Amino acid sequence: MPGVLEGRVAIITGASRGIGRALAIRLAQEGADIVVAAKSEQSTERLPGSIYETAEEVRRIGRRALPVKVDVRDEAQIAAMVEAAAREFGRIDILINNAGALWWQPVLDTPAKRFDLLMQVNVRAAYLCCYYVLPHMQRQRWGHIITMAPPISTEPNPGMVAYMIAKMGMARLAIGIAAEHRKDNIASNSLWPVTPIESAAVINHGLGERAQWRTPEIMCDAVMAILSREPSACTGRQLLDEEILREARALAAEKNLSDRAEFLTADATALPFPDDYFDVIIANDVMEHVAQPEAVLREAYRVLKPGGRFFTNFPPYYHPYGAHLSDVIGIPWVHALFSEPVLIEAYRELVKDLPDADMRLSLRLGDPATNSIELTYINHMTIKRFRRIVEESPFKIAHWRLVPLRTFLRPLAAVAPEFFMKAVVCILEK
């Protein structure tokens, strides 16, 4: 069955890893041919992924891919990328301005060289990509441009002034193009996630807590919610991922179309489903937080069909940041060095003047108004404990893998896995 984007051609910048790579794969699954544009030609341990690896994944789906090495700071390289895309595929329907540079530091820690880099990689690059792609879309009288930028705001954003100047410029670009090219049936929108998306950039910059991150798939769903509409039906907007997905669900209900997902709040030890109901259950970063992991596994076994699989992963307790307090306490193994009451008081003191202090305290400590000495969110799952729980469960182990913090730490991880493993990855089968 043809996909929603069958016959379309998409250029995605920053497509060697993270959100860009996920978008390339998703748009290919929906029928598009993909121009994989990024700087990385080789994968590294710190920055895994390359344009050739992403292109190969697209081809395995059955779509055409054109990997293009491009430094988006260089106008000539952007022009050449667009020319190569038009020559290879004969058209350009979609541009996703995903490439970006991060720098979250105060003004006095942002020299001119760093400021210029932010402007070049973010707003200038997006501008030039639009500049060279728009004539092709005009000739076709069809096009979608999506620029990854937050809605325009007057909030001061201390500590990220330069970064937000660039991002606000990208949002202005998106809505400006929408107004200029509405008559050409070219849509232009900005899109931004409500919470951080797990990627190399987020991990390497330590942005927030892993438990707060979402996978790139939510951005893929949001992008498809835009691209599934005719350009004239969705343009000139500054969208958040959750916002456009709510609209998509409402539209599906209005058109009597079944949605792909249903959201439910329930007790994981007493799920409101009959026996042998699901083919797959995915528990991402769950088992280290639930109060009764044994009961959760028993319930998962009940609702899975015979042969069904339970996928889970988690960072073990003695992971350097296993306490999940690193949003403000960035000391490795801090939870192994200090008691929970000490950590609670330190955490309260560090967040008290932050604008989202109540949210952080509520997440970590429960009700911030109480004097509880319990870290309600702390990870309590060791590798040894989880292995015992699994072996005592009715499941059989289909896959078990321990992932070291870094490749060069593999020898230490073999000797002291609790301290030097980044994650446990496990697949259980009924």
| Sequence spans of domains, the chain | 9-254, 278-319+379-429
Determine the pLDDT at residue 1: 46
Determine the pLDDT at residue 413: 85
Is there a shared CATH topology between the 9-254 domain and the 278-319+379-429 domain?
yes
Q: Is there a contact between 172 and 226 (Cβ–Cβ < 8 Å)?
A: no
Provide block-wise average pLDDT over 10 residues at a time, the chain (430 residues): 83 94 94 95 82 94 94 97 97 96 92 96 97 97 97 90 96 97 96 78 58 77 93 94 87 66 74 89 84 91 93 86 76 84 85 76 61 60 92 94 87 87 91
Helix, strand, coil share of the chain (percent; to 5): 45, 15, 40
Task: List Cβ neighbours of 172 (8 Å cut-off, separation of 6 or more).
Answer: 152
Active site residue 163: yes
**What letter represents residue 195's amino acid?**
T
Residue 361 φ/ψ, nearest 5 degrees? -65, -40
Does the domain at residues 9-254 carry the CATH identifier 3.40.50.450?
no
Determine the pLDDT at residue 225: 93
* Annotated active-site residue in 127, 163, 317, 318: 163
Determine the pLDDT at residue 258: 56
Please tell me the CATH code under which domain 278-319+379-429 is placed: 3.40.50.150
Q: Does the predicted model carry a pTM greater than 0.85?
A: no
DSSP conformational letter for 16: T
Q: Is there a contact between 70 and 78 (Cβ–Cβ < 8 Å)?
A: yes
